[in-house]
Amino acid sequence: MRPVSIIGAGKTPFGVFPDKSLRDLAAEAGSKCLKNGSASPVQVEAFYLGNFAGPAFVGQNHLAPYVGAALGLEGVPATRIEAACASSGSAFFHAWTAVASGAYDIVLVVGVEKMTSQPTARVTDILASAGEVDGEVRAGATFPSLFAMIARRHMHQFGTRREHLAAVAVKNHANGAKNPEAHMRRAITLEQALNGRMIADPLTLYDCSLVSDGAAAVLLGPTERAAEFSPRPIRVLGAAQASDRLALAEKEDITTFPAVRKAAGKAFQMAGVKPEEIDLAELHDCFTIAEIIAMEDLGFVPRGEGGPASAAGFSSLEGEKPINTSGGLKSKGHPVGATGVGQLCDLALQLRCEAGERQLARANLGLAQNLGGSGATCVVTILGR
């Protein structure tokens, strides 16, 4: 396998865009990415699209060539990858594999979702289809209720408190307020987070990610050619995808996600680094408890200590391990098919020292963790300058 680099990155703001279609959003992000990588559509040899539920959200199937044509991609293989909220993380993983293996040199990856065209109740139903439909969903489970059960078990098992969950929300909103492309640029207080409208006990409105529109894109190429396209390429040091069972009832312990641990183990080994060497991370905080568990599964803190560490400032911009400097899914937004590649774009900003108010003094190694469903899919990617 040969070394691979990100040679271009671009994304749309995340938010509510009634005048932009799924295709508009994807084309905008892809075009920004190609420009950022000083590349033209004719140089792209393959195209991977990450998208969870375009057919359900906007009624369009056959999305990869549909989006590819809008980007001016002619005759290249165009493939859509679906892995729930990890769709574009998985699309990136498969694109990285294609370049690393030598099958292609220049590959474009776009993640996109257009969610706000449907009412909230319909969005909830569409998202629930990423769970076990025959069992949990038929019994009435939604992802807020599933992650509420995960949070309750974590509280019972480790003494995690609602204040710990709220600390994650406060931190991510503070970061998102400094991100000009975030869906919700509004800081909140701990009191607000604790007193938010209850969605699924113990999760309030402030513990849940946003329903967003948006797209993100990265351009990949062999590291040996990276200087042809970018003066500041980002090295892909490690990338791994793993899976697990969909249903919570089939998991041995719902306070940890085996797919995260497996993917992380492979990515760390490939990169030749340890968790403590990572300078910053973009973690999949679809719910605040998900960030806490990810911190533990990735080895940033011991199991059961993610909550207290969050409350103590461990993951703040000034902390030992800054997490979700973008604002995370909680504040930046969560257009599910765009989230994984969006995380990589945000890491690229930090590694290139282009993150503005959120820029860290030390940003040499970054990690992205993109989760699908209640832990059934996970992609972990480690990037370096």
Active-site residue among 85, 208, 286, 345?
85
CA angle 185, 186, 188 (to 5 degrees): 150
- Which helix (H) or strand (E) covers residue 50, if one does? strand 46-50
From the DSSP assignment, how many helices (H) and strands (E) are in the chain?
A: 13, 11
Residue found under tokens 């060539």: 65
**C-alpha 53, offset from chain centre:** 16
Can 164 be counted among the known catalytic residues? no
User: Do the Cβ atoms of 381 and 265 come closer than 8 Å?
Assistant: no
Active-site residue among 154, 208, 334, 378?
334
Return d(Cα 368, Cα 379) in angstroms, integer. 8
Return d(Cα 69, Cα 90) in angstroms, integer. 22
SS3 85: strand
Structure tokens at 92: 């990136």
SS3 79: strand
Give one DSSP letter per residue of 308-371, joined into a string.
Answer: HHHHTTTTSTTSSS-B-TT-HHHHT---GGGHHHHHHHHHHHHHTT--GGG--S--SEEEEEEE
Can 334 be counted among the known catalytic residues? yes
Find the distance separating the first CA and the last CA of the chain, reported in whole Å: 19
User: Do the Cβ atoms of 309 and 315 come closer than 8 Å?
Assistant: yes
User: Do the Cβ atoms of 22 and 114 come closer than 8 Å?
Assistant: yes
Closest CA to 216 of 18, 25, 20: 25
Give one DSSP letter per residue of 224-256, joined into a string.
Answer: GGGGGT-SS-EEEEEEEEEE--S-GGG-S-TTS
What residues are annotated to the active site?
85, 334
